[in-house]
Amino acid sequence: MARVHNWQIGREMSYWYPESRPKKQFAAVFDTNKCIACQTCTLACKTTWTSGKGQEYMLWNNVETKPYGSYPLAWDLKLLEMLDGGQWSGGTYTGQTIFESARAGERVLSWRPEGDDYAYPNVGEDDCAGTVDGGMSLSMPHMAWFYYLARICNHCTYPACLASCPRGSIYKRPEDGIVLVDQGRCRGYQECVKGCPYKKVYFNPMTGTSEKCIACYPKMEVGLQPQCFVNCIGKIRMAGYISTPENARPDNPIDYLVHVRKIALPMYPQYGLEPNVYYIPPIHVPPAFLRQMFGPGVDAAIAAYRNAANDPDLAGLLSLFGATESVMTRWVRKGEEVAGVDDRGTTLVRVPMTEPVHVRAGFDKIYQVMRSNCP
Amino acid sequence: MRRHIVVLVAVASVAAACRPAAVTTPDVVAVMAPAVPESPDDPAWANAPEHVEKLLLQDLVEPRLMTASTPDVRVRAIAGPTEVAFRLEWNDASKDDLPGNGRFVDACAVQVPQRADPNAPDPQMGQAGKGVQIAYWRADWQATVDGRGTTIQDLYPNATVDHYPFEAPTLEKGSAAQSEMARRYAPADAAGNLRGGARTSPVEDLTAEGPGSLSPAGGSKTRGRGVRTATGWSVVIVRPLPDGLAPNARTQVALAVWEGAGKEAGARKMRSGWVALAMRRTS
Ligand code: SF4
Ligand code: SF4
C-alpha cells in the first residue's frame, strides 16, 4: 500500500498504487434538484453502448429514487454498514476508507452483489420517506421527501475497481483520467464488480468479461460531452475537467462549482476514492441524510445554491448546463450574458441570464381568431 | 448430535471400503504408452498410478482465498511420444458451469515450468525470467463444447429480451452487416478475447511470469475434456511433453482447482506447490 493525498477527505490515505494524477481529470457536475427521473440518460447510454447480448441488465447510467431506490439492490447501504459510520472533523475524515479497512486477504473493503440484486431496477422505489400530512412540505427541509439520484461511473482518482483487479486489466488514462476495463486483458474474475463501492462495473456473462462506463471517450476526445449529458431532459449535467484544489481556475466551470463556490460535492467521499462526479445536493432533503452521502459541505452548498437568484455568477454558470453538446473548459459572464468557451478561446454558446418574455395579444389579427392557451 | 457424527463416519467408511484401493505415488508418474487417452473414462487410465495431491489455499497474494474448499486432487498421467495426458479428479458436490453476475464456474489447471530447472520457478505462477506454462480447463467452456447453446436463455432460462438492435428486420439474418453490428456491443469479442460464447475447446494455453501476468500462449496446443462423475469432476488435459520430461528425467508440475460454488476465480483458488513429474515405462 502506498500513501496518497485525497483532498476530498482532507488527508493522506493508503492506496494500492502510488499517487499518479492524470494530465487532466474528466469530471462532471449533476444538479440533483433538476432531475425528473425520466431515464432519458439511461436509454441514451443503453442504445449507444449496452444493447448487446449479455448487457441486458447493465446500466452504466442509472437513476434511482432515494432513500429507497438502489441499483444494484442496497449498493450503498451494505457498504455503509460495513464501514461502520466514520466521523468527520471539519473537512477531515477521521474514519477509515475502504482501502484502510480492507479485511485480511482483500484489497478493499467490499461485498459482492448476487445476480438477483440486478434484476429489478427501479421497482417499488418511488416512495416518500414518510406520509405527508397537511402542510408538511411547506417548509424546508421536507419531513417527507424523496429525490432522484442519477449515477454513472465516477472515474475516480483512486479507483477501487482498478485496485481490485489482480491482473491490472483496469487502467486510468493519463491523458484524461477516464477509467477503462481493457477488454483484451480482462479474464472475468469479477473482482472489480465486487470492489467498486458504487457498483459501476458489470459482468457480461455472454462475453465473459466485465464492462463499465467509458465516459463516451470517443466524444470527449473531440470536445463533445457524453450521451447521457447531452440527452438529459432536465439539463442537470455538465461534463468537463477538474483541477486539484490548489490549481483551481475560477474560469473553469467545474472548478468554479466544486472548488470556488463548493456547491457540488462528491458522493460518499468517505469511501476514499476521490470520485469525480460532483452533486449539487437536493435542497429539500434533511441534511443529516445528505451529510452521510455528500460529506460535511452539504449545508454550505445548499445555502449557496438557494441564494443563486442573488448571485449572478452562480446563476449564470448554472444556466450553461445543457446549453451545448460541446465541452466547455472555460466560461465567462459579461453583464446579462454568460458564455461557454473552449480551450482555444472559441465561444461555444451564449445564454442570456434572463430569458426574454413575449406577451402575445389575445386576438390574432392575421387569422382573425381569439387565441387560447392550452394548459 | 454425537450420534449423527457416528452415523456419518460409518457411512463414510463404508463408501471408502467399496472403492478399489488406489496405488498412490509420492510423485506424479507418467507411464509411457503408444498413444495418450483423450477421454476421462478411457480404460488406459487404470495403468497409471494415482497421486493424491493435497491442495493449499492461495494465500500469498491478494485477493486471497480465505476458506479452504477442495481438499485434494487425484492425478494420473500417461505420456505418448510427443504428448502427455493428465487426468485430474476431485470431489465437488455441485456442477457449476453457468457463468453469470455473481456466478462462478468450476475449473482446473496444470502448470509446468517453461524450462526444466532443478531450481524451479516460484510455484505460484512463476517469476520474472522463469516462466511457467499453464493449461486451463473451465466447466462452462466444456458445456458449450458439449452442445449447450450460446443465447442469454442458455445462461438464464427465464430471461426475456424485447429487442437487440442487430436483430432488427432491416438487417439480413446471418449477414456480415448483422454480425458486424452485434460485435459493436460485444467489446471483448471485438478485442479477440473470447472468454464466453461459442467455443471449440474447453481448455486454453497460457503462460505466466508471476502473479497477475497470465497471458494467452498464442496458438492452442492443448486439448481437454471434462465430465461429471458421481462425486465431482474428471478432467483430461493433453498437452505437448513439457521440457525435461523424458525417461529417467524429471520436471515439476503444479495443480489448481477452482470451486465455482465458492465464487472462486483467478487468484481465489486451491493450488499445490511443485510436485515432481517423472516418466516411467510401466506403472
Ligand atoms: S466508480 Fe467504481 S467503476 Fe468507476 S472508477 Fe470508481 S471504482 Fe471504478
Ligand atoms: S435525463 Fe436528466 S432529468 Fe432525465 S433522469 Fe437522466 S439525469 Fe434525470
The size of chain A, in residues, is: 375
| Model pLDDT, residue A360 | 87
Q: How many structural domains are present in chain A?
A: 1
Q: Is residue A9 part of a domain?
A: yes
Q: Which residues line ligand 1 (CB under 6 A)?
A: A 153-156, 159-161, 179, 196, 198, 200-201, 212, 273
* pLDDT of A138 higher than 90: no
pLDDT value at residue A375: 53
Residue B8's pLDDT is 39
| pTM of the model as a whole | 0.93
**B142-167 mean pLDDT:** 94
d(CA A61, CA A43): 8
Residues 312-351 of A with CB under 8 A from B: none
Residue of chain A whose alpha carbon sits nearest to that of B268: A189
Contacts of B102 in chain A (CB under 8 A): 112-115, 117, 190, 193, 203
Distance A26 CA to ligand 1 centre (A): 13
Give the pLDDT confidence of A344-361 residue by residue, as tens digits: 999 999 999 988 888 889
Over residues A115-143, mean pLDDT: 84
Which one has a higher pLDDT value, B248 or B22? B248
Region A367-372: mean pLDDT is 91
Range list of β-strands (E), A215-309: 237-242, 265-266, 277-280
Is the pLDDT confidence value at B146 over 80?
yes
Q: What is the chain A residue with the closest CA to B188? A: A183
pLDDT-wise least confident of B13-17, B164-168, B218-222:
B13-17
Segment among A160-174, B77-91, B187-201 with least mean pLDDT: B187-201
Q: Is A20 helix (H, G, I), strand (E, B) or coil?
A: coil
Write out pLDDT tens, residues B91-110: 999 999 999 999 999 999 99
Answer yes or no: do B182 and A208 touch at CB < 8 A. no
pLDDT digits (tens, 9 = 90+) for A275-295: 999 999 999 999 999 999 999
Question: What's the CATH code of the domain at A195?
Answer: 3.30.70.20
A196, A111 in Cβ contact below 8 A?
A: no
- The overall average pLDDT reported for chain A is 95
In sequence order, what are the beta bridge partners of A162? Answer: none
Domains in chain B (CATH in brackets) are: 22-146+205-280 (2.60.40.1190), 151-195 (no CATH)
Residue A344 lies in a domain: no
Using an 8 Å CB-CB cutoff, list chain B residues near A104. Answer: 64, 66
Count of C-beta atoms within a 10 Å radius of residue A85: 9
Distance CA A213, CA A49 (A): 9
Q: What is the mean pLDDT of residues A252-261?
A: 98
Mutation target vs A (from B101, B148, B171, B269; most A CBs, 10 A cutoff): B101
Summarize pLDDT for A66-105 with one digit per residue, the tens.
Answer: 999 999 999 999 999 999 878 999 999 999 999 999 999 9
- Report yes or no on A208 lying in a domain: yes
Give contacts of A50 with chain B, Cβ < 8 Å: 185
Domain that holds residue A202: 2-127+143-294
If pLDDT is split at 50, 70 and 90, which confidence band does B21 have?
very low
CA–CA dist A88, A100 (Å, integer): 16
Contact A166 B266 (CB under 8 A): yes
Q: Is A111 on the interface with B (CB under 8 A)?
A: no
pLDDT value at B72 more than 60? yes
pLDDT interval class at A144 (50, 70, 90): confident
The gap between the terminal CA atoms of chain A, to the nearest Å, is: 62
Count of beta carbons in the 10 Å neighbourhood of residue B239: 22
CB-ligand 2 contact for A96 (6 Å cutoff): no
Straight-line distance from the first to the last Cα atom of chain B, in angstroms, rounded to the nearest whole number:
45
Query: pLDDT, tens digit, for every residue of A302-315?
Result: 999 999 999 999 99
In a domain, A326, yes or no: no
Instruction: Report residue B220's pLDDT band, with 50, 70 and 90 as the boundaries.
Output: confident
**Per-residue confidence (pLDDT) for residue B22, from 0 to 100:** 54
E strand or H helix that includes residue A364: strand A363-364
Chain A contacts in chain B segment 48-67 (CB below 8 A): 59, 61-66
CA distance A213 to chain B (A): 13
User: Out of A115, A167, A209, whose CB is closest to B188?
Assistant: A209
Q: Does residue A11 fall inside a structural domain?
A: yes
